[in-house]
Amino acid sequence: MKNALIAIAFLFGAVGAHAQATTAAKETGKATAESTRAAAESTKAAVSGEPAKTMHKAKAKAHRAKARHARHEAKDAAKEATK
C-alpha cells in the first residue's frame, strides 16, 4: 500500500512538473497503475495458500517489470520535452 501511495505522489509530481509532456504523464500513469496492481498481487500472495500464492507472486513480478519499463519511458519522455 505504501508503494501505491508513493507512486501516486510521484504521478502528481511528474504531471505538475511536465504538464506539456503528455507522453511523460501517460507513461507515469501506466507506472502508477502497474505499481498498484503489483501491490495488490503481493497482498493476495501474502494471504493465499500455496498454489495461488505462486501465481500471485508471478503476477506481481510481471507488474513490477511493466512499472519499471513505464517509469523508464516516462523519464525519457520528460528529457525529450525539456530539450
Tell me the pLDDT tens digit for each residue of 7-35: 777 666 665 555 555 776 777 788 888 88
Residue 37 has pLDDT above 70, yes or no: yes
Q: Which distant-in-sequence residues (6+ apart) come within 8 Å of 19 by Cβ?
A: 25
Residue 54 lies in domain: 2-81
Residue 27's CB is within 10 A of a number of other CB atoms, namely: 22
> What global pTM score does this model have?
0.56
**Mean pLDDT on 58-77:** 86
DSSP secondary structure letters along 43-72: HHHHHS-HHHHHHHHHHHHHHHHHHHHHHH
Dist CA 21 CA 46 (whole Å): 38
Residue 14's CB is within 10 A of a number of other CB atoms, namely: 23
